[in-house]
Chain A
Amino acid sequence: MANSPPALILRTSTLAYLGVMVVLPLTALTTQAFEPGLARFGQAVTDPFAWHALKLTFATALVMVAINAVMGTATAWVLVRYDFPGKSIMNALIDLPFAVPTVVTGLMLVALYGPSSTLGTILGRHGWGIIYEQPGIVLALLFVTYPFVIRSVQPVLLEIDRGEEEAAATLGARPWTIFRRVTFPTLYPSILTGTALAFSRALGEFGSVVMVAGNRPLETKTGPMYVFGEIESGNRHGAMVVSAVLLASSLGILVTLNLIQRGRKV
């Protein structure tokens, strides 16, 4: 059955589709980045502006991922384990950040926390800036990646056999021990999946970040913003190189994740 003509055609065409839609553009990008040679590649990465943009992208993504891992798991926990009025509305709201155009996300955050907003004025009086500073970038990333951890933890939590937790409780384990020894080991692969997807997504985020970051080189210019600027000013190679680094990091994360999960199943 698997080798019948229709199956074969379907398989070839989906593979070709993947090739044309994903693999081909990515290969073009990588070849162009490496075309002028490794030395030029290294030069372009260690350019102080490129290097800082990359560092900033990874740092903000890491902070975002740490917050998301905790808050996302907690949110999924609340959604699965408790019943309360408005729960279904809350459940529906969670996916909404995916539907908002990222530029609008940025605009919204500026309106809410920007220096001329009420909140921004109060914060500014204490010398704290969110928008047009690095915390603003984290805030934007948190918004656009909000559903990832929740949506990957939630189904696992639903499937979990409560009997194990109850058994642990009857054996005298304290709640914290139960969570640490029984629940968390089952949950952690899904938390990992969620955070890894969020991290990959954050590395490439442009639309919302460009609105809230202020775009100051060596301060608040992230990798994707650097890429945009270099393309616009005619430095294609610099742009390609930074993109290639972001791309390789994303790929690395996704492949590692895949290996970890495969290792678990075997």
Chain B
Amino acid sequence: MRRDGRAISWVILSLVLASLGLSCDRGGTSAREDVLTLGAYSVVREVFHDGLIPEFARIWKTKTGRDLRFEESYNGSGAQARAIASGFDADIAVLSLDSDMELLVKAGVVKKDWNEGPDRGIVTNSLVVIGHRDRPDLPIHDWGDLTRPGVGVLYPDPKTSGGARWNIAAIWGAGLLSASRSTRDAEAARNLLARIQANVVIMDSSGRQSLSTFDRGIGDALVTYENELLLRRKYGKKPIPYVTPDATLRIESPVALVETSVDRHGNREVAQAFLAFLISMEGQKILASYGFRPVNPDAKLGDFPPIPARLFTIRDLGGWTQVKRTVFDQDGVWAKTFTDRAQGK
């Protein structure tokens, strides 16, 4: 009996040691292969996985003769940023908004001057647009149409979704700029945001989820990225008609090198080449074919509807730090739309 027990413990011990050995062995890569780890936000999954990555791997192979393998991770922008900040060893971070990238700067893994190049670290542009049902009895042309009683609006929860932050910032900005270009009417902006928020039926945790909720027939209008709606055409899904409000926000999504990971992996050369590729004409052409507007507005790429008359950027609203403070903080404008409504104001 004793001896049996001892034999079993030996078996278990050797199993444990074997599994340790297996997990240690994983790190090695062959000398003829480069590896790049990508930590990206979920919206760019298709364009990276199906478009940019295979093309860049091909270019890299012809240029250097070396194989390039990507390890890809896609997650909500905030979640991805937190993962990288707390040790996920992505070489390249592709996030939805600057303020998430600032999280990585604070963690000391991305250089402070990541956004000081000519393109300010931005690789993709898009617009905040309103997708709607094909219903003539429910015309939707502008933000104001989302405030009408009975119009069910969808956008995700800004607590969990970077996309929702862009959406709400667009509404806020459109309200601010509505009165006239010179005077910024904060009251009008608050009012517009509160009335649209009151019509919101569901706040899913990501933009993609809002889109699939809309697909299931819920809601009459969906505030989202233009590229998300253009992507549907590429993948042969039923198109969702959309309008670009006269005043809307340009979505600018950043990318940066994660210094600590690149140093550890010793793959700075290929990582920098990939970043350069993203901003290059070839890279932007692929991005355009997946619905992202080119970063260089002069580049005639893709077939996009005209840029709206009163397009503004996050810098016009004072930058993300400012918008975060006035709109998204715990006592910000967005939270106040709920507390005011609960108090019957």
Binding site for B on A (CB under 8 A): 47-49, 52, 110, 114-116, 132, 210, 214-218, 228-230, 232-235
Contacts and interface: CB of A to CB of B under 8 A. Distances in A.
Contacts of B218: 114-116, 132
B192 interface: no
Contacts of B203: 214-216
A228 B205 CA distance: 10
A228 to B, nearest CB: 7
Contacts of B216: 110, 114, 116
Given A110-B216, A233-B78, 16 more contacts: A47-B330, A49-B335, A132-B202, A210-B205, A214-B202, A215-B204, A215-B205, A216-B200, A217-B335, A218-B342, A229-B160, A232-B76, A232-B205, A233-B158, A233-B328, A234-B103
B341 A218 contact: yes
Contacts of B79: 232
Contacts of A217: 335, 338
B159 interface: yes
Interface in B307-335: 328, 330, 335
Contact of B339 (A48, A210, A232, A235): A48
A116 to B, nearest CB: 3
B185 to A, nearest CB: 25
Contact of B159 (A52, A115, A218, A233): A233
A214 B154 CA distance: 10
Contacts of B159: 229-230, 232-233
Interface residues of B, number: 24
Contacts of B103: 234
Interface string B147-170: 000000000011110000000000
Contacts of B204: 215
Nearest to B76: A232
B118 interface: no
Contacts of B330: 47, 235
Nearest to A228: B160
Interface in B20-59: none
Nearest to B81: A234
Contacts of B160: 228-229, 232-233
Contacts of B200: 216
Contacts, number: 56
B217 interface: yes
Nearest to A133: B201
A229 B156 CA distance: 11
Does more than half of chain A's interface fall in helix, strand or loop, or is it mixed? loop
| Most B-side CB within 10 Å, residue of A48, A110, A215, A230 | A215
B339 A214 contact: no
A262 B189 CA distance: 61
A235 B160 CA distance: 11
Given A230-B159, A234-B78, A48 B202 contact: no
19 contacts: A47-B330, A49-B335, A49-B338, A110-B216, A116-B217, A132-B218, A214-B201, A214-B203, A215-B157, A215-B203, A216-B200, A216-B202, A216-B203, A229-B159, A229-B160, A232-B159, A232-B205, A233-B328, A234-B78
Contacts of B335: 49, 217
A132 B328 CA distance: 23
Interface string B213-242: 000111000000000000000000000000
Contacts of A115: 217-218
| Most A-side CB within 10 Å, residue of B159, B200, B204, B342 | B159
Q: Can you list the 10 inter-chain pairs with the closest CB atoms, starting with the nearest?
A: A229-B159, A116-B217, A232-B160, A233-B159, A215-B203, A214-B202, A218-B338, A217-B338, A218-B342, A232-B78
A12 to B, nearest CB: 16
Contact of B201 (A132, A228, A229): A132
A222 to B, nearest CB: 13
| Most B-side CB within 10 Å, residue of A132, A218, A232 | A232
B42 to A, nearest CB: 13
A48 B203 CA distance: 19
A52 B218 CA distance: 26
A173 B157 CA distance: 59
B93 to A, nearest CB: 17
Contacts of B202: 132, 214-216
Nearest to A116: B217
A232 B328 CA distance: 13
Contacts of A229: 157, 159-160
B342 A48 contact: yes
| Most A-side CB within 10 Å, residue of B157, B204, B205 | B157
B126 to A, nearest CB: 22
Nearest to B158: A233
Nearest to A235: B330
A132 B200 CA distance: 11
Interface string B183-206: 000000000000000001111110
A234 B216 CA distance: 31
Contacts of B328: 233
